[in-house]
Amino acid sequence: MKKILMILLSLFSLLIAGCNDVATPVKEVIRPVKTAIVGESGFDRQWVFSGTVEDALESELSFRVHGKVISFPGDQIGRKFRAGQVIAKLDPADYELEVHQAEAQLEQVRANFTRAKADVSRIRQLYEREVISKSELDQADADYKSQEAQLNAWAKMLDIARKKLKYTVLKAPFDGWVSAVNINVHQNVQSGEGVIVFNAGRQMKMSISLPDTLIAQVTEGEKVDVVLDALPGQPAKGIVMEVGIGANESSSYPVKVYLDNSHHRMRSGMSGKVFFSGRNGGNHVFVPPSAIVGNPDGSNHVWVVENNSTVKIHQVKIGSLSPLGVQITEGIKTGAVVVIRGVHSLRDGMKVKTVGAES
């Protein structure tokens, strides 16, 4: 009897406790978020291409004749020359001998020509008096023409010999400096063999390659910005001077940008980047990169604040990254308010409170 009483008392206590347990309503969480207003721009990304600087006027100088180098003032890299100054000389002895021989031969031929000219004049007078036959006149006239041809030939031979002698002196074709030396003094060189590489240094050029999808938007005369790795903080202005019309081995098109180097800070071989300004390609929608949320399946979405109180998920397709942000090609429109802070703590339909907005 006592056990039954205890059980009843316990059940009664549980019943009373259950009656006192009243459900407490759960307070809805309102997330603070930072937002941005989606804008649009008529410019796409900035193009950047790498390249190497070289002298726009660079020549590998060589002798037009062969011989032994007896003087070589241009044997030091960096040495400057004015136009017409002597860079190197060959031994002129053999070429001086050729000139003397041609001069002597020319004098002999000239004497024969003078004699033949006098003979044909004298024989023509005899023929007119019918003293000699027509064949003798023809023979004299043929001798005269032969001597005249030899005189012209040897005059040209003398001219060639004098030019060869002149070619034993290598002079600077323009103001510039030596950038490379290929030979040594007292060395025998062949005609056309590179002696030095000579740079003007006044203007530089930078070669870059553009893909086929962009080359049509580049025109000659277009202005670009160039920044060299060796000259940080010293951007240079460039002009597109050459645009390739044929693709190279990498299926890209060559473009050459010319740079003013009047300050002489640039050197051949310096690497850097060419910056093309934003290209006009219609209006594009951009959002800050922090607004983009990546999904496991590779897709992307953003959170859009609707009615200033709740967020809704919007699947988007993204384009290129630019200084304006990430281009959105599909999914949202201009004027939408997207969340840019706290994107990973949201769920569809959640109430939010904006604590800051950017445009």
pLDDT in tens, the chain (359 residues): 555 656 555 555 555 555 455 445 555 678 888 888 887 665 555 678 889 998 888 889 999 999 999 999 999 998 999 999 999 999 999 999 999 999 999 999 999 999 988 988 888 888 888 888 888 888 988 998 999 999 999 999 999 999 999 999 999 998 888 989 999 999 999 999 999 999 887 788 898 988 887 888 888 989 998 989 888 878 888 999 988 888 877 778 999 999 988 787 888 888 999 988 755 545 678 888 888 898 888 899 998 988 878 889 999 988 777 667 788 888 888 888 888 888 888 888 888 888 766 65
- State residue 95's pLDDT score: 96
What's the rounded Cα separation, in Å, for the pair 54 and 221?
19
What's the rounded Cα separation, in Å, for the pair 259 and 340?
42
Question: How would you write 85-105 as a 3-class SS string?
Answer: CEEEEECCHHHHHHHHHHHHH
Contact between 144 and 116 under an 8 Å Cβ cutoff? The reply is yes
- State residue 165's pLDDT score: 96
What's the rounded Cα separation, in Å, for the pair 330 and 317?
5
Here the tokens at position 97 are 């001998």
What is the number of structural domains in the chain?
3
The last residue of a domain, from among 213, 248, 279: 279
What's the rounded Cα separation, in Å, for the pair 258 and 153?
48
Q: In this structure, is residue 188 part of a structural domain?
A: no
161 and 226 share a domain? Answer: no
Contact between 170 and 86 under an 8 Å Cβ cutoff? The reply is yes
What's the rounded Cα separation, in Å, for the pair 105 and 191?
26
Q: In this structure, is residue 332 part of a structural domain?
A: yes
255 and 287 share a domain? Answer: no
Q: Give this prediction's pTM.
A: 0.54
Contact between 34 and 354 under an 8 Å Cβ cutoff? The reply is yes
Q: In this structure, is residue 184 part of a structural domain?
A: no
Q: What secondary structure does DSSP assign to 334-357, as a single string?
A: TT-EEEEESGGG--TT-BEEEEEE
- State residue 3's pLDDT score: 56
Residue type, 214: L
The domain that holds 275 is classified in CATH as 2.40.30.170
206 and 266 share a domain? Answer: yes
Q: In this structure, is residue 191 part of a structural domain?
A: no
Task: Enumerate helices (H) and strands (E) in the chain, giving the number of each.
Answer: 3, 23
Contact between 234 and 272 under an 8 Å Cβ cutoff? The reply is no
295 and 334 share a domain? Answer: yes
Q: In this structure, is residue 264 part of a structural domain?
A: yes
252 and 290 share a domain? Answer: no
What's the rounded Cα separation, in Å, for the pair 98 and 157?
9
- State residue 120's pLDDT score: 87
Residue type, 19: C
The domain that holds 113 is classified in CATH as 1.10.287
Q: In this structure, is residue 75 part of a structural domain?
A: no
Strand partners, 354: 33
Q: Is 298 left (phi over 0), alpha (psi -120 to 50) or beta?
A: left
Q: Smallest Cα–Cα separation from 209: which of 58, 52, 57?
A: 52
What's the rounded Cα separation, in Å, for the pair 138 and 123?
9
Quote the domain boundaries for residue 245: 48-56+201-279
What's the rounded Cα separation, in Å, for the pair 172 and 170?
7
What's the rounded Cα separation, in Å, for the pair 231 and 233?
6
Q: Smallest Cα–Cα separation from 226: which of 51, 54, 64?
A: 51
145 and 208 share a domain? Answer: no
- State residue 18's pLDDT score: 52
270 and 302 share a domain? Answer: no
Q: Radius of gyration (Cα) for the chain, nearest Å? A: 45
- State residue 99's pLDDT score: 96
Provide the angle, in degrees to the nearest 10, between the axes of the packed helices 93-128 and 134-166. 160
Q: Smallest Cα–Cα separation from 238: which of 219, 221, 252, 262?
A: 221
Q: In this structure, is residue 160 part of a structural domain?
A: yes
Helix residue spans in the chain (DSSP H) = 2-20, 93-128, 134-166
The last residue of a domain, from among 279, 304, 325: 279
